[in-house]
């Protein structure tokens, strides 16, 4: 019995050691393979990145003019993007790339909406969620949850509420940014004194404009922070009209990227070049665009996507 106990004390610990060593060897080998596989599928930084940005407004059952597109057309256009191999990104992800925080995927494209219409929530959002596509909405701050114009009782296209905005943001697919708080007013309703653009009036003193604009921005930013616990970092110019003065004020307010409605140029983002995020071009999508015209509006400027879906190339 004493001999058996001696062998037990001598060999069992050694056997346990060998079993543990074998387990760790298998685990670490498997983890290493898994890590290498995961790493090989990650995107890497390129020195420059071309990024088309599309502009939508309101979505309805029937499209009309340049600002309202039918849900049928919107769905088909999103499917065309997926089939062509585009990967949707938010405007914050563009900034993350430029500042070296995270690379962009192959064939990035931005879907943006201006104004903050309720149809972005009721019609576009469910489809984008279903297809795991991202978008950025530049909402007018004073219009959240409104269906009439600035306490006049005059009906306007309804806008989504902050609760609906928070639901969209919580999906991880939608982000909300600024289209001014109240500097996108209507001449037809407010008259000649309307502030329709985020730029100084021709007879306005620059310092007066700075004071007015900073107050407008802060009002929105404070309200925005109370709902989202973060600050506004991107800005879309009403009617696409920009100015160097406004750009300077926005930079002082912490805005990283700005967007116009100009479509006659290419967005080429550059690593560690914040200026490449300023006054970016956008392609306005209209109801009258055929499928071919829609795709050519992108490819005539940016060329064809590099790869088809499922055939993603990683740059070494």
Please report, for residues 9, 10, 15, 122, the alpha-carbon distance to residue 3 in angstroms, rounded to integers and kept in the order given: 10, 11, 18, 80
- Report pLDDT for 219: 98
pLDDT tens by residue, 91-137: 999 999 999 999 999 999 999 999 999 999 999 999 999 999 999 99
DSSP letters along 39-87, please? HHTS----SEEE--EEEE-EEESS-BTTTEEEHHHHHHHHHHHHHHT-E
The predicted-structure confidence for 254-266, as pLDDT tens digits, reads as follows 999 999 999 999 9
Q: In whole angstroms, what is the distance from residue 301 CA to residue 297 CA? A: 7
Burial of 237 (0-12, 13-18, 19+ CB in 10 A): buried
Sign of the CA dihedral running 269, 300, 73, 143: positive
- How many angstroms separate the CA atoms of 233 and 121, rounded? 21
pLDDT exceeds cutoff 70 at 295: yes
pLDDT at 176 over 60: yes
**What is d(CA 24, CA 81) in angstroms, rounded to the nearest whole number?**
46
What would the mean pLDDT of 49-72 be, rounded to a whole number? 95
For the chain, the structural domain boundaries read 1-42, 46-302
pTM of the predicted structure, to 2 decimals: 0.84
Fold entry, domain 46-302:
TIM Barrel (3.20.20)
- Is the pLDDT reported for residue 42 higher than 80? no
């Amino acid at each position: 019995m004493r001999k058996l106990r001696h062998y037990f004390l001598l060999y069992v610990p050694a056997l346990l050691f060998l079993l543990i060593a074998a387990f760790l060897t298998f685990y670490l080998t498997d983890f290493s393979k898994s890590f290498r596989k995961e790493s090989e599928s990650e995107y890497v930084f390129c020195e420059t990145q071309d990024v088309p940005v599309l502009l939508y407004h309101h979505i309805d059952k029937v499209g009309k003019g340049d600002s309202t597109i039918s849900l049928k057309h919107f769905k088909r256009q999103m499917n065309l993007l997926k089939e062509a191999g585009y990967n949707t990104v938010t405007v914050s992800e563009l900034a993350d790339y430029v500042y070296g925080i995270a690379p962009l995927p192959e064939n990035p494209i931005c879907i943006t909406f201006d104004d903050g219409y309720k149809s972005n929530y009721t019609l576009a959002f469910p489809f984008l969620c279903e297809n795991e596509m991202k978008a950025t909405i530049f909402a007018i701050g004073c219009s959240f949850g409104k269906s009439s114009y600035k306490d006049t009782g005059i009906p306007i296209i309804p806008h989504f509420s902050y609760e609906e905005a928070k639901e969209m943001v919580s999906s991880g697919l939608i982000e909300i940014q600024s289209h001014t708080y109240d500097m996108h007013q209507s001449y037809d309703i407010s008259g000649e004194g309307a502030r329709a653009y985020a730029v100084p009036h021709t007879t306005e003193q620059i310092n007066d404009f700075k004071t007015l604009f900073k107050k407008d921005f802060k009002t929105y930013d404070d309200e925005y922070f109370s709902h989202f616990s973060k600050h506004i970092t991107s800005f879309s110019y009403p009617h696409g009209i920009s100015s160097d003065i406004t750009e300077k004020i926005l930079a002082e307010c912490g805005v990283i990227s700005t967007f116009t409605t100009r479509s006659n140029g290419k967005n080429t983002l550059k690593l560690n070049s914040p200026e490449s995020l300023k006054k970016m071009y956008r392609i306005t999508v209209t109801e009258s665009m055929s499928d071919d015209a829609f795709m050519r509006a992108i490819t005539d400027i940016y060329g064809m996507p590099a790869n088809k879906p499922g055939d993603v190339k990683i740059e070494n």
